[in-house]
Amino acid sequence: MKILVCISKTPDTTAKIAFADNNTKFAADGVQWIINPYDEWYALVRAIELKEADAATVIHLVTVGLADCDPIIRKALALGGDEAIRINADSHDSYYIASQIANVAKEGNYELVFTGKETIDYNGSSIGGMVAELLDLPYVSLATKFTLTGTSAEIIREIEGGEETDTVQLSVVVSCQKGMAEQRIPNMKGIMGARSKPLKVVEPSAVDAFTAIASFDLPPAKAGVKLVSPDNPEELVRLLHEEAKVI
Amino acid sequence: MSVLIFLDQADGHIKKSAFEAACYGAAIAKQTGTIAEAIVLGSINDDLAAIGQYGITKVHTVKNDALNHVDAQVFTKIIADAATATGATVIIFSNNFNGKAIAPRLSVRLKAGLVSGAVALPDTSNGFIVKKNVFSGKAFANVAINTAIKIISLNPNSFSVVTTIGTAEVAAFAANVDAAKVTVTNTNKVVGEVPLSEAEIVISGGRGLKGPENWSLVTDLAKLLGAATACSRPVADIGWRPHHEHVGQTGLAIAPNLYFAIGISGAIQHLAGVNRSKTIVVINKDPEAPFFKAADYGIVGDAFEVMPKIIEAVKKMKGLI
Ligand SMILES: Cc1cc2nc3c(=O)[nH]c(=O)nc-3n(C[C@H](O)[C@H](O)[C@H](O)COP(=O)(O)OP(=O)(O)OC[C@H]3O[C@@H](n4cnc5c(N)ncnc54)[C@H](O)[C@@H]3O)c2cc1C
Ligand SMILES: Nc1ncnc2c1ncn2[C@@H]1O[C@H](COP(=O)(O)O)[C@@H](O)[C@H]1O
């Protein structure tokens, strides 16, 4: 059983969002980088749990990014990945990234490809579906539970207003979210071991991007809160009805 | 050349977010001097000719019970065929659960650039540039689509539904419906509740409410206003409320007209899921709670004293007492 987990790097959830170079680039100065939470907490940890339940499972990690991704890849290895592949390219185009991942996936013949639900910086929610289409595999998005029975998987996924239980034959691409697993913290043994685990760097294959970010904007600042006295909450209801016109 | 809109349905009815997508697609058609057509898959009980009110000229239907469950692979093929048959150069989805499953596949299949999470009409004055949410609502990116066919998925609640007079032609589209590789063995929908992602008003509670036994302060107000209910992450984690109510960075991102937060501190990860709401109301006893910085209206006070009075006032406003 071979699992490929897609790992991306994002700014820490509390990072200040600002832009540089005439609003064409994210201002990365002083930003702390983390593994995208969906990739780490849910996709990777569930893959590790599957491996713990089956000695024959291997977990490969794939990241499309430059050398500044190596620290977060090492952390993912410390948590329990066996081997990592970094495709040495910097892109925010989902199709470009998905194509690189699909190439790795094809070569490695993985039964399972896990992605996170979305990246918390570019919010594409696209890579998993694109990789699945490139590989002509089924894609189950927004999974909250994943269990294996032989060569088929039972997956619970979120749908609008509820959930759905799916069964599917491997191989399959799954995007993972809350519910799949619990966050883990790497231990000392994992951190030491990660140093000697393979991190292979490969050059990207030539792919034309479909999209390009022209610029960024910040939303206009809020006018400020209008406070109502706690002795007169009726006034709040009046304001929402007459001024904001939302109730 | 035309615009094709995927109209998402549930239980035989077109979803509210699909009407937004229809109006958005019709506006792009107008802007680019072409027509807007739509496609609906599965068995529909609504009057589809009435979709003309949203600016749609023609609705293509594939009536087939197998399509009442969304299978991204099967849907992608049919929509790709329809796009080719209608000569669509712009394809619109709602950026909801189904849109997120189908649009990326279609992008690969049609070699069409995708912008997901659009919040405004494209700028077509020089190329084709779409504004989308990035950094969980903390910023926008203006993204150029450089392919001949363009796919946009529109964030729910970011484009207003405007109706005019009009009737759409309804025509069956002859599609090859493949067998789904994913088998749905069970669906479990919360009945009778407003789905959080589509709600115009959301009443939400945090750890400040002390325990699940106090949730009537949230649910009573929600019932009165026809609102959905939500909660902060710790509230779902401790099990006071179901997981699907959790909003924020790691939960659902929503953009209702009114987000009413009770006993929630307003941590940055919580705000990431709700900061696109049009009006934010915060009830918190701590004047230093960060949520007040993101709020439009607020009361610094004890929720247990303030909320019953608010609920009474809403009842009065509605003429219920
Ligand atoms: C990577 C990451 C991702 C995260 N993702 C999310 C997410 O998606 N969603 C999310 O919500 N959180 C998320 N969090 C957690 C987040 O940081 C906060 O811990 C959480 O939002 C706090 O929840 P809370 O406001 O309900 O509780 P608290 O922080 O405990 O705040 C309770 C508030 O209630 C007020 N209060 C107390 N008593 C009363 C009273 N009687 N009347 C009125 N007010 C009262 C207090 O003043 C306080 O402001 C995430 C954290 C991390 C690190
Ligand atoms: N540069 C990348 N390298 C590897 N995996 C990625 C990359 N970008 C996104 N992913 C994966 O795809 C998921 C969805 O990303 P997105 O479609 O960009 O929101 C993420 O949670 C990751 O698992």
Of B182, B225, B293, Cβ closest to residue A138: B182
Average pLDDT, chain B: 95
Q: Searching chain B, which residue's CA lies closest to the CA of residue A40?
A: B250
Assess if residue B56 is contained within a domain: yes
How far does CA B305 lie from the centroid of its chain? 34
Signed CA dihedral, B3, B9, B13, B14: sign only: negative
CA of B241 to the centre of ligand 2 (A): 30
For the stretch B233-285, pLDDT in tens is 999 999 999 988 999 999 999 999 999 999 999 999 999 999 999 999 999 99
A99 lines ligand 2 (CB under 6 A): no
Ligand 1, pocket-test mutation among B260, B269, B293, B309, most atoms within 8 A of CB: B269
ipTM of the complex, rounded to two decimals: 0.95
Whether the bond into A171 is cis, omega within 30 of 0: yes
Please identify which residue in the block is written with the tokens 């925010």: A92
Structure tokens at A195: 């140093």
How far away, in angstroms, is B288 Cα from ligand 1 center?
13
- Residue A29 to residues A7, A16, A81, A90, Cα–Cα distance (Å): 22, 10, 29, 17
Q: Which ligand is nearest to the CA of B254?
A: 1
Provide the 3-class DSSP secondary structure of residue A115: strand
Does the distance separating the beta carbons of B246 and A178 come in below 8 Å?
A: yes
CATH number for the domain harbouring residue B310: 3.40.50.1220
pLDDT, residue A51, reads 96
Residues B105 and B216 placed together within one structural domain of the fold: no
Task: Report pLDDT for A108.
Answer: 96
Together in a domain, B118 and B232? no
Residue B81 placed within a domain: yes
Complete domains list, chain A, with CATH: 2-220 (3.40.50.620)
Cβ–Cβ of A167/B296 closer than 8 Å?
Answer: no
User: Do the domain assignments include residue B158?
Assistant: yes
- What is the per-residue pLDDT across B175-226, written as a single tens digit (0 to 9) for each? 999 999 999 999 998 777 778 888 999 999 999 999 999 999 999 999 999 9
Q: What is the pLDDT of residue A162?
A: 86
The atom number, within ligand 2, closest to the CA of A43 reads 23
Cβ within 8 Å, pair B141-A216? yes
Query: Would the CB of B275 count as within 6 Å of ligand 1?
Result: no
Q: B88 phi and psi, to 5 degrees? A: -70, 135
Q: Is the CB of A91 under 6 A from ligand 2?
A: no
DSSP B31-74: HTT-EEEEEEES---S-GGGGGGGT-SEEEEE--GGGGS--HHH
Question: Chunked in runs of 10, what are the mean pLDDT values of chain A (247 residues)?
Answer: 97 94 95 97 97 94 98 97 98 97 97 97 96 97 95 94 93 95 93 96 98 95 92 96 95
Tell me what pLDDT residue B303 has.
98
Q: What percent of chain B has pLDDT over 70?
A: 100
In degrees, rounded to 5, the angle at the alpha carbon of residue A213 between the alpha carbons of residues A210 and A215 is: 160
Report the alpha-carbon distance of residue B254 to residue B248 in Å, rounded: 8
Chain-chain contact of A141 with B97 (C-beta, under 8 angstroms): yes
* CATH code of the domain covering residue B167: 3.40.50.620
Q: Which of B318, B321, B319, B289 is nearest to B303 (CA)?
A: B289
Q: How confident is the model at residue B8 (pLDDT cuts 50, 70, 90)?
A: very high
* pLDDT score, position B174: 95
Range of the domain at B163: 2-172
Q: What is the pLDDT of residue B195?
A: 82
pLDDT in tens, B103-137: 999 999 999 999 999 999 999 999 999 999 999 88
How many domains does the structure of chain B reveal?
2
